[in-house]
């Protein structure tokens, strides 16, 4: 396992319960749109990659014949299994595995989903290539993740800001860059929907048990951000009331 993947597994193991209970992960219009764009059919078999707290798998499972939830971190799978039991959602198979080396045969799934996770993957092209491999012809891929501006300088700042808070953050892409990754994998990108969530800095850093020094550094970064980064993140308030925008998108794609 690469060092970055080991770091991701370590940090998600430490914060598994926080991700299960996180309001941003547990639901909202973005999750509703992802589920809508799956166009899930009752005879389908679906895979949720990097399932985290299991929220996407739990939302999709009642709509399909079979649901597999995969994650790199055993503790996250345990937490997701517990949430499924708590919500009385049965029929989900929980599998330990790597998003960039999916442990499934070719043409295994009608649907693959991935939500708020791909910015942790070292090689997103390999992930989407693997997704295309395990999808059946005519299958559907629906991805949600945070995104960055098209401007490379502003994008680098947003990624650095995220990495300061969570060192397992690898790199978020713009939605246009994601569409190109999807095309290179042989899939056909379709509808894209963007979302904005205003996030309190204190809550956001608490989820990763950031030190006071890290929180101070993040506040300094926001204060010194370029015009492009400020326009993208739109910070407001000070101290305990300080917040900023987290921008995300959902994109659907089909396998010919």
Query: H/E/C letters for each residue in 2-13?
Result: CHHHHHHHHHHH
Distance (Å) of CA 181 to CA 123, 124, 125, 227: 11, 8, 6, 28
For the entire predicted model, the pTM comes to 0.90
Domain boundaries, the chain: 3-150+167-197+247-254
Q: Distance between CA atoms of 69 and 52, rounded to whole angstroms?
A: 9
Q: What is the CATH number of domain 3-150+167-197+247-254?
A: 3.40.50.150
Q: Which two tokens stand for residue 214?
A: 């890290």
Q: Collect the ranges in the chain with pLDDT lower than 70.
A: 1-27
- Run of H or E including 27: none
DSSP letters of 85-125?
A: HHTT---EEEEE-BTTB--S-TT-EEEEEEES-GGG-S-HH
pLDDT of residue 207: 86
């Amino acid at each position: 396992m690469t060092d970055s993947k080991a770091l991701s597994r370590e940090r998600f193991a430490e914060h598994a319960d926080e991700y299960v209970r996180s309001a941003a992960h547990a639901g909202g219009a973005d999750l509703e749109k992802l589920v809508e764009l799956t166009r899930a059919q009752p005879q389908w078999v679906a895979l949720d990659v990097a399932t985290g707290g299991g929220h996407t798998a739990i939302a999709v499972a009642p709509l399909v014949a079979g649901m597999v939830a995969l994650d790199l971190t055993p503790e996250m799978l345990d937490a997701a299994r517990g949430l499924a039991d708590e919500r009385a959602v049965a029929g989900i198979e929980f599998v330990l595995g790597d998003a960039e080396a999916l442990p499934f045969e070719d043409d295994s799934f009608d649907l693959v989903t991935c939500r708020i996770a791909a910015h942790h993957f070292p090689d997103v092209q390999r992930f989407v290539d693997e997704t295309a491999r395990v999808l059946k012809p005519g299958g559907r891929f629906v991805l949600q993740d945070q995104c960055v501006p098209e401007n490379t300088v502003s994008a680098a700042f947003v990624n650095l800001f995220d990495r300061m808070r969570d060192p397992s953050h690898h790199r978020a892409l713009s939605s246009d860059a994601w569409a190109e990754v999807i095309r290179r994998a042989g899939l056909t990108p379709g509808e894209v929907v963007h979302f904005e969530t205003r996030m309190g800095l204190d809550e956001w850093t608490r989820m990763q048990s950031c030190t006071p020094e890290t929180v101070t550094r993040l506040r300094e970064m926001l204060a010194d951000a370029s015009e492009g980064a400020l326009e993208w993140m739109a910070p407001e308030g000070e101290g305990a009331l300080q917040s900023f925008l987290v921008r995300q998108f959902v994109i659907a794609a089909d396998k010919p």
